[in-house]
């Protein structure tokens, strides 16, 4: 039985508007999740996201994403558990999704061509900490336990993220089998705990632009889409067209009555396309990454505050955003802060970008509801 209480309010072509309840928190979808890697969204005082003077919409941000790998290494999931779970650790309520560890394995692999920091085995993966060289291993079961220690509402299974370079398709297919066996282990292990926790666990459909592997993966993993299903290994190196093509391909293969989470998608254009292809949830570091490079979302494009034209531009950052930053500051002031490498500039732009994406997704939802 699903822990998510959800109903599809309205569909428009393939797009869907849901109301989901998990742990007494209501989520409207489509929904965008800000990323909160190390128990903080970069540059942002989380209370601003719920404070009425800084709030910009009727629907606050109820779901953010934290990173299991980083929080396991530092501060250590046991400390977070002792603090009373992540929400209490960092003074927040509402929902938390923790991603699994798959991509970090891949990063250590890719980043260290000469010295292997990672050993992948059938039942577990061994790795050296990039911080202090200490040795650790993760299994599908252990990653569930870590996420339970963090007090995650929505957990992700451990998966293998194949390299896309210098790897045969046979090898990729083999890694898919490992991922599937890990998913089985994770769900078998979590199944025993399911009723005694507040958490849900998502399987992850991967395998890049290989349609046959995608299909096989959906076919195997949909048995585990008890609450939700996630899609990944898109929006990494493939072209936009390849991504939309895969989303189109998957559209009628994914369970229709389960929410769908497309990982790592965060541009206005990609979100719009993905919603049109039936995706319900997104996450991306783009709002804060752009913010700390002095760039703001505006319609389909970007305002680069370092451009000299903004030095004397006393108009608001955008003309279509009701956020605290657009209401109170001029491009001239923001440009000055960014040029001076003043953190306040990066903070304000990150804040605007998060609000902007949040509101954009809300707007898409309204379009579905009003269609």
The b/e string for 41-76 (b: 16+ C-beta within 10 A; e otherwise) is bbbbebebbeeeebbbeebebbbbbbbbbbbbbeee
Residue 331 sits in the site that holds a second copy (CB under 8 A): no
Return the residues of window 162-191 that contact a second copy according to CB under 8 A.
none
Q: Based on CB atoms, which residue is closest to a second copy, 122 or 308? A: 308
Length of the chain: 371
d(CA 51, CA 46): 9
Q: Based on CB atoms, which residue is closest to a second copy, 82 or 223? A: 82
Shortest reach from residue 45's CB to a second copy, in Å = 7
Q: What is the DSSP letter of 79?
A: H
Catalytic hit among 153, 270, 280, 283: 283
Residue 107 sits in the site that holds a second copy (CB under 8 A): no
* Residue 186, beta-bridge partner list: none
Q: Based on CB atoms, which residue is closest to a second copy, 299 or 327? A: 327
Could you say which of 42, 214, 272, 365 contacts a second copy (CB under 8 A)?
A: 42
Residue 18: phi and psi, rounded to 5, are -115, 160
DSSP assignment of 247-263 equals HHHHHTTS-TTS-EEET
* Residue 64, beta-bridge partner list: 96
Number of residues that bind a second copy (CB under 8 A): 43
d(CA 196, CA 54): 37
Q: Based on CB atoms, which residue is closest to a second copy, 143 or 348? A: 348
Shortest reach from residue 17's CB to a second copy, in Å = 32
The answer to whether residues 23 and 284 touch, using CB atoms and an 8 Å cutoff, is: no
Could you say which of 328, 366, 369, 371 contacts a second copy (CB under 8 A)?
A: 328
Return the residues of window 66-85 that contact a second copy according to CB under 8 A.
74-75, 79, 82-84
The answer to whether residues 297 and 268 touch, using CB atoms and an 8 Å cutoff, is: yes
Residue 306 sits in the site that holds a second copy (CB under 8 A): no
Shortest reach from residue 91's CB to a second copy, in Å = 4
The first and second tokens of residue 5, run together, are 């209480």
Could you say which of 9, 117, 120, 344 contacts a second copy (CB under 8 A)?
A: 344
Of the ranges 180-188, 297-305, 323-331, 356-364, which one interacts with a second copy (CB under 8 A)?
Answer: 323-331
d(CA 354, CA 233): 23
Instruction: Judge whether 99 counts as a catalytic residue.
Output: yes
d(CA 111, CA 51): 40
Residue 228 sits in the site that holds a second copy (CB under 8 A): no
Instruction: Judge whether 283 counts as a catalytic residue.
Output: yes
Q: How many CB atoms lie within 10 A of CB 161?
A: 23
**Applying CB under 8 A, which residues contact a second copy?**
38-45, 47-48, 51, 53-54, 74-75, 79, 82-84, 89-91, 311-312, 314, 324, 328-330, 332-333, 335-337, 339-340, 342-348
Q: Which residues are tagged catalytic?
A: 99, 283
């Amino acid at each position: 039985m699903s822990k998510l209480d959800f109903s599809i309010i309205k569909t428009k072509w393939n797009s869907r508007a849901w109301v989901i309840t998990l742990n007494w928190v209501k989520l409207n979808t489509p929904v965008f999740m800000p990323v909160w890697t190390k128990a903080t969204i970069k540059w942002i005082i989380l209370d601003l996201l719920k404070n009425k003077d800084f709030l910009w919409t009727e629907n606050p941000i109820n779901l953010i994403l934290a990173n299991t790998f980083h929080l396991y290494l530092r501060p250590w999931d046991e400390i977070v558990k002792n603090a009373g779970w992540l929400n209490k650790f960092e003074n927040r309520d509402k929902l938390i999704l923790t991603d699994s560890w798959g991509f970090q394995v891949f990063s250590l692999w890719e980043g260290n061509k000469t010295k292997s920091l990672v050993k992948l085995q059938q039942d577990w993966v061994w790795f050296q900490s990039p911080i202090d060289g200490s040795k650790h291993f993760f299994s599908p079961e252990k990653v569930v336990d870590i996420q339970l220690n963090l007090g995650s509402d929505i957990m992700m299974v451990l998966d293998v993220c194949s390299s896309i370079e210098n790897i045969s398709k046979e090898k990729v297919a083999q890694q898919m089998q490992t991922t599937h066996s890990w998913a089985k282990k994770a769900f078998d292990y979590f199944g025993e705990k399911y009723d005694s926790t507040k958490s849900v666990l998502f399987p992850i459909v991967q395998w890049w632009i290989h349609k046959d592997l995608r299909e096989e993966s959906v076919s195997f993993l949909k048995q585990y889409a008890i609450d939700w299903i996630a899609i990944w290994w898109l929006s990494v190196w493939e072209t936009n067209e390849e991504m939309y093509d895969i989303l189109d391909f998957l559209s009628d293969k994914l369970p229709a009555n389960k929410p769908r989470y497309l990982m790592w998608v965060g541009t206005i254009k990609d979100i719009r396309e993905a919603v049109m292809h039936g995706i319900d949830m997104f996450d991306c570091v783009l709002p804060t990454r752009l913010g700390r490079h002095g760039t703001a979302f505006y319609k389909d494009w970007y305002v680069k505050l370092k451009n000299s034209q903004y030095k004397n531009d006393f108009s608001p950052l955008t003309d279509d955003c009701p956020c605290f930053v657009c209401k109170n500051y001029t491009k001239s002031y923001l440009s000055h802060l960014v040029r001076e490498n003043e953190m306040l500039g990066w903070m304000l732009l990150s804040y605007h970008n998060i609000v902007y994406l949040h509101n954009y997704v809300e707007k898409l939802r309204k379009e579905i509801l009003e269609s």
